[in-house]
A and B are shown apart, each in its own frame.
Chain A
Amino acid sequence: EPEVTQTPSHQVTQMGQEVILRCVPISNHLYFYWYRQILGQKVEFLVSFYNNEISEKSEIFDDQFSVERPDGSNFTLKIRSTKLEDSAMYFCASTSGFFTGELFFGEGSRLTVL
């Protein structure tokens, strides 16, 4: 069964370092998303991406964040200079179309900023 895969599963980094989280969405999907979940808090929308550009982004997604689809399969989230408060589980999701209602999520990448 097709699935969304994310790497790494866990990354530990020092404050101020750049981090890239990688996602391989399901191959025929066209819409891609990043969400994050700080420990004990709700899952929060960060950004959606379609046709090689950002469709929507939340206020969390500031200039420290960027997304890219560098080739036909990968979808990356870059945090330019990590802060302690960026420590969270980051989920990638994809869907074939806006109105299917179902997002397919990866297992998440846990980011720990020290």
Chain B
Amino acid sequence: AQSVTQLGSHVSVSEGALVLLRCNYSSSVPPYLFWYVQYPNQGLQLLLKYTTGATLVKGINGFEAEFKKSETSFHLTKPSAHMSDAAEYFCAVSKTGGGADGLTFGKGTHLIIQP
């Protein structure tokens, strides 16, 4: 069985500050890990994914995440927050690349950007 825990349902940072959204996972097999973003009144959009290989993955809009197997973590970071980053962020895990078993999502973290 797989599960995802996102620490902090709401995270507030100042514009220009570091963004850190935390995600820990549990998986019985090597996981595929994803971050999705949801802007208001829109569907979920893939930010980045880890499948195999390099543990530091870069995504869209300047976000990146690092897979740390020893810590079972896949935290999302961005060096400098922008007002347009305000959105809901979901961490997800899959046994495969998002296939028949689907994705298991975390509860989401609402990112608030203070001017």
Contacts of B96 on A, CB cut-off 8 Å?
A: 98-99
A98 to B32, CA, bound (A): 12
Judge if A19 is at the interface, Cβ distance under 8 Å: no
Total interface residues in chain B, CB < 8 Å: 27
Kindly name the residue among A95, A101, A106 whose own CB sees the greatest number of chain B CB atoms within 10 A.
Answer: A101
Closest to B100 in A: A55
Are B108's CB and A42's CB within 8 A?
A: yes
A34 to B33, CA, bound (A): 19
Q: Mark out the residues of chain A between 35 and 89 whose CB falls within 8 Å of any chain B CB in the assembled complex.
A: 35, 41-45, 48, 50, 55-56, 58
Are B43's CB and A101's CB within 8 A?
A: no
A33 to B108, CA, bound (A): 19
**Interface size, A (range):** 20 to 34
Contacts of A41 on B, CB cut-off 8 Å?
A: 107
Are B99's CB and A102's CB within 8 A?
A: no
Interface string of B85-115 (1 = CB under 8 A from A): 0000010101011111111111110000000
Are A98's CB and B44's CB within 8 A?
A: no
Are B46's CB and A103's CB within 8 A?
A: yes
Closest to A33 in B: B102
Judge if A4 is at the interface, Cβ distance under 8 Å: yes
Are B41's CB and A31's CB within 8 A?
A: no
Are A101's CB and B34's CB within 8 A?
A: yes
Contacts of A95 on B, CB cut-off 8 Å?
A: 98
Contact sample, A vs B, 10 pairs, CB 8 Å cutoff: A31-B99, A35-B102, A42-B105, A42-B108, A45-B103, A56-B102, A101-B49, A102-B98, A105-B36, A106-B43
Please give 10 more A-B residue pairs, beta carbons under 8 A apart, in addition to A55-B99, A101-B49. Answer: A4-B43, A31-B99, A42-B106, A43-B108, A44-B105, A45-B102, A48-B99, A91-B43, A100-B98, A101-B51
Seen from chain A, the residues whose Cβ lies within 8 Å of a Cβ on chain B are: 4, 31, 33, 35, 41-45, 48, 50, 55-56, 58, 91, 93, 95, 97-108
